[in-house]
Amino acid sequence: MKQVLSVSTGFFHPPFAARRIVDRVLTAVARIQLSHARSLNSIGGLDMSRFAALVLYYHRDHLALDALEAFERFVQNGGGVLAIHSATASFKGQTRYFDILGGEFAGHGPVEPFTIEPALADDPLFGGIGAFSVTDELYIHDLRPDMTVHFTATYAGEPQPIVWTRTVGRGRVCYVVPGHRTATMRQPQMQEILRRGVKWIIGD
């Protein structure tokens, strides 16, 4: 059994009901035991060697230095990260945090329908999940290099990464853009992306 720490908070952004759905989806994944924390700042005082991965689903302003350093050590030493939606819009100015996630929020359009399309012809991680539509916020990011983009959506005529993975040190990171609306997280394709993403970051 692998221990996964879900760091998640919010009533409206992200929605409480959406966070509950994510918890249910991940709890049902075999060989995972999910624990919970309300703030990433709490990991500065935890023994993070107990955990195989972190799930980040929040919109927060302040990240303490000891928590940032614990986060960096965790990933560099092989810990996994599944980050969802506004995790990349949190902790503005914390370059080291975004260097791990792979992108920093730069803006978004209105909440509107868009189509999410596979980016790879033969995707070993998300293969079989076809194109699907959501009504959500389509985030635009300032991106770091060295990532694999698995899904894209078009914004202002340009393809934007919607799901990406990357490695940092010995750790694995998966980021998923949608998550502004509860209805998005109810969609079976989104839930399958979360399931496969968390299994990949823990090495299953």
Residue 49: how many other CB atoms lie within 10 Å:
12
User: What was the pLDDT predicted at 156?
Assistant: 92
The structure tokens listed for 53 are 């991965």
pTM of the model: 0.97
Backbone angles phi, psi at 18, to 5 degrees: -65, -40
Q: What is the pLDDT of residues 22-64, one digit of tens each?
A: 999 999 998 999 999 999 999 999 999 999 999 999 999 999 9
Judge contact between 44 and 7, C-beta under 8 A: no
In order of start, what are the domains of the chain with their CATH numbers? 2-104+162-201 (3.40.50.880)
User: What was the pLDDT predicted at 62?
Assistant: 95
Judge contact between 159 and 152, C-beta under 8 A: yes
Q: How confident is the model at residue 204 (pLDDT cuts 50, 70, 90)?
A: confident
| Percentage of residues in the chain having pLDDT higher than 90 | 96
**Please, which residues have CB within 8 angstroms of residue 45's CB and are 6 or more apart in sequence?**
66
Return d(Cα 2, Cα 168) in angstroms, integer: 20
Judge contact between 182 and 18, C-beta under 8 A: yes
CA 8 to chain centre: 11
Q: How confident is the model at residue 10 (pLDDT cuts 50, 70, 90)?
A: confident
- DSSP letter for each residue of 72-85: HHHHHTT-EEEEEG
Judge contact between 187 and 94, C-beta under 8 A: no
Q: What is the pLDDT of residues 114-157, one digit of tens each?
A: 999 999 999 999 999 999 999 999 999 999 999 999 999 999 99
Cα–Cα distances (Å) from 21 to 66, 74, 136, in that order, read 30, 26, 16
Q: How confident is the model at residue 11 (pLDDT cuts 50, 70, 90)?
A: confident
Residue with token string 């919010």: 10
Across all residues in the chain, what is the average pLDDT? 97
